[in-house]
Structure 1
Amino acid sequence: MYKLKNYMEEMVDVILEKVLQKYEGICKCEKCILDIKAIALNNLSPKYCVTQKGKVFVKLNEMDSQFNADIMNQLVKAIEIVSKNPHSGVE
């Protein structure tokens, strides 16, 4: 069975975890984290690939520093937006 995967979602998850370590005092509830991801992903180009379910797919762009910088830039912008209007208290 094959699966359609947006690789950008995986990269946003990986980089967001690192970026959030630098931000203290912001709400990190599930809703705020999902808002951050949604805002960032809406401003990044999707990177779709077809994989066999359960198989690892090639991550060609992961080593590209500009690719990572673009994701980080959009995540920082999204964090700033969400932190001005958090969903709930700081967790």
Structure 2
Amino acid sequence: MLRNYMEVIVDNLLTSILSEYKDICKCKVCIEDIKAITLNNLQPLYISTEKGYTYTKINELKIQFKTTVISEIIKSIDIVYNNPNH
């Protein structure tokens, strides 16, 4: 079950954040670009066990952690908005 849990976190937050942006393209290419830029700027959180999953879920609840992820998503949205790849 090896996976980068940061991908799950970004996916969960991205949908709600994008709903606040009316003028940005939400095609698959733009969304994937936003995710890629965001994930490249965040430290990965690889998990391989249920214990790791539980620890990561607890860490996700910390305000600073969530703020950092949201900040990176917003930066990535701005980059893609100003430089669409399609």
TM-score, reference length from structure 1? 0.84
Residue 60 of structure 1 aligns with an amino acid whose one-letter code is: I
SS at match of 1:27: coil
For this pair of structures, how many residues does the alignment match? 82
Q: Distance in 2 between matches of 1:39 and 1:60?
A: 25
Measured after TM superposition, the shift of residue 39 of structure 1 is: 0.3
CA RMSD of aligned residues (A): 1.3
Which structure: greater helix fraction? 2
Report what 2:83 is aligned to: 85
Moved over 4 A (4+): none
- Counting aligned pairs with the same residue, the percent is 48
Which structure: greater strand fraction? 1
Question: Where do 5+ consecutive residues of structure 2 fail to align?
Answer: none
TM-score, reference length from structure 2? 0.88
Aligned pairs for 1:65-80 within 5 A: 65-80=63-78
Structure possessing the higher radius of gyration over alpha carbons: 1
Report what 1:63 is aligned to: 61
Q: Distance in 1 between matches of 2:9 and 2:30?
A: 18
Residue 27 of structure 1 aligns with an amino acid whose one-letter code is: C
Do 1:12 and 1:71's aligned partners in 2 also have CA atoms closer than 8 Å? yes
Question: Where do 5+ consecutive residues of structure 1 fail to align?
Answer: none
Q: Distance in 2 between matches of 1:27 and 1:43?
A: 21
